[in-house]
């Protein structure tokens, strides 16, 4: 069965910062393939670093590996967030994930969020001044 992730305008899904440490394969309509690096990922989408931007609204297949296993899903490319001379940062939102891929993504995100919560030297969590 296929899972169709829905975003909730009231509450943003937790994001995991990957800083390009996870490679992703992107296949656009017409068979165009691109390599990318995941910068952020959430249960509803993420941010890719690409060498060339894709058109906003393009439907693509995105595949990447996590400790929970390989994940493959259909996504819609959104408007590029930042453009550089040699790359661009472009967000995407998942529009369809197989139930098994959704489970693996949820497990990988939960594990990463738990690790950052428990890691005292995490960039995400710093002790507030005065403690």
Task: Express each pLDDT in 28-62 by its tens digit.
Answer: 988 889 999 999 999 999 999 999 999 999 999 99
Dihedral sign, Cα of residue 100, residue 102, residue 107, residue 112: positive
* Residue 125, pLDDT score: 40
**Dihedrals phi, psi of 95, to nearest 5 degrees:** -115, -20
Listed residue (53, 46, 62) closest to 97, CA to CA: 62
* Residue 123, pLDDT score: 44
Fold of 16-118: Thrombin, subunit H (2.40.10)
Whole-prediction pTM value?
A: 0.78
């Amino acid at each position: 069965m296929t899972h169709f992730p829905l975003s909730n305008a009231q509450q943003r899904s937790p994001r995991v910062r990957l800083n390009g440490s996870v490679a992703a394969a992107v296949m656009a309509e017409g068979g165009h393939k691109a390599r990318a690096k995941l910068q952020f990922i959430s249960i509803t989408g993420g941010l890719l670093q690409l060498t060339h931007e894709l058109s906003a609204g393009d439907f693509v297949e995105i595949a990447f590996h996590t400790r929970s296993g390989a994940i493959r899903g259909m996504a819609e490319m959104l408007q590029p967030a930042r453009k550089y001379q040699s790359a661009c940062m472009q967000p995407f939102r998942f529009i369809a994930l197989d139930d098994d891929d959704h489970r693996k993504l949820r497990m990988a995100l939960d594990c990463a969020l738990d690790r950052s919560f428990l890691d005292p030297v995490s960039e995400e969590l710093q002790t507030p001044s005065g403690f």
